[in-house]
Amino acid sequence: MRSFITGVGGQDGSYLAERLVAEGTEVHALVLSSDGTPPHCPPDVVLHEGDLGDIEATRRLVLDLRPDEVYNLAAISSVALSWEEPDRTAHVNGAAAVGLMESARRCGARFVQASSAEMFGQPTQAPQTEETPIRPVNPYGAAKAFAHLSAGVYRAQGQHASSMVLYNHESPRRTERFVTRKITAGVAAIARGDADHLTLGNLDARRDWGWAPDYVDALLRAARADEPGDYVVATGVAHSVRDFVAAAFAAAGIDDWEGLVRQDERFMRPTDPSELVGDASRAREVLGWSTTVGFEEIVARMVAADLD
Ligand code: GDP
């Protein structure tokens, strides 16, 4: 078995590479030359320098390697950044994802796309399912929607292409561009006496936060399933950013935290879905998937890692 992963430098790519190497799969991964050696990447992974956005070069590489399965985890992964670079987001998260799907089709490989709940925008239905209307409200969601819909198009043509609608999923490997790690790193700094406050944006946004390795498990199950499909991957429980902050301070043993948190317009977004929460019934029933770590434990593990 030979797998090809894009985005191995990110949280999910590193967990997926570890899983694949552990099961004895030959793993090849695309890495941006500017990124250097990806953190947490197992030494057995064969790294290929390149940019997913260079569709032709990536195609030559994939056709040369002829993998059995391709996981597309590379993306401009921040909604905030997608407002600053909407055209590059459209290219990398949209067009290049389809380019990779086409490369997988040409060599008969199974394809798994990391999609995002952001493509539902401001959903009127909660929790969201695979049938929820796709109405993104930011450039990130729009580009992800294009790739998601394209996976459906390829599937209809007989390709084993699955699209995984991943809700927020976290771990100590998250970068501080995401609110969870920003909070746990900030709380740890306050607990150590290295900072006296934490500055955030919208505290009322509600998100469905899961444990990243569980979401990687869903990607793997989709690749190996008899039939391809679209799957929502979520815990089904939403918490506010404020809840996350409270849980993080509690994990660090700080009860009276209100005065330690400031809000700043700089971290507010032009549009921000007020609540995203997913119903993963299909993934549970068809893929046998389940979550293994709950909200409080996720926060506690991230705070503990940052305190270390
Ligand atoms: P996203 O859901 O993929 O955009 O993940 P993020 O972790 O970046 O953001 C989750 C939620 O936290 C969004 O509703 C943000 O508006 C909110 N948020 C509040 N303060 C901050 C902040 O300082 N940084 C980030 N990244 N998000 C924040």
Residues 299 and 278: their CA atoms lie apart, in Å, by 19
- Distance in Å, CA 263 to ligand 1 centroid: 12
Q: What is the pLDDT of residues 71-122, one digit of tens each?
A: 999 999 888 889 999 999 999 999 999 999 999 999 999 999 999 999 999 9
Cα–ligand 1 centroid distance for 30 (angstroms): 27
Q: Which ranges of 40-109 would DSSP assign to H, the alpha helix?
A: 55-65, 79-84, 86-89, 96-106
Question: Which residue type occupies 49?
Answer: E
Choice from 178, 181, 269, 277 to test ligand 1 binding pocket (greatest atom count within 8 A of CB): 178
What separation in Å is there between the alpha carbon of 203 and the centre of ligand 1?
9
DSSP state of 278: B
User: pLDDT by residue (tens digit) across 119-167?
Assistant: 999 999 999 999 999 999 999 999 999 999 999 999 999 999 999 999 9
Q: How many helices (H) and strands (E) does the chain have?
A: 11, 14
Active site residues: 116, 118, 140
The residue contributing the CA closest to ligand 1 atom 8 is: 178
Q: Is-contact 274 121, C-beta < 8 A?
A: no
Q: Name the packing angle between helices 139-156 and 96-106 (round to 10°).
A: 20
d(CA 248, CA 270): 27
d(CA 214, CA 171): 10
The domains of the chain, with CATH numbers, are: 2-169+212-233 (3.40.50.720), 174-207+237-277+292-307 (3.90.25.10)
What is the structure's pLDDT at 256?
Answer: 95
Q: Is the pTM of this model over 0.85?
A: yes
What is the average pLDDT value for the chain, to the nearest integer? 96
Phi and psi, residue 280, nearest 5°? -95, 30
Residue with the nearest Cα to atom 1 of ligand 1? Answer: 79
Looking at the predicted structure, is the pLDDT value of residue 272 above 90? Answer: no
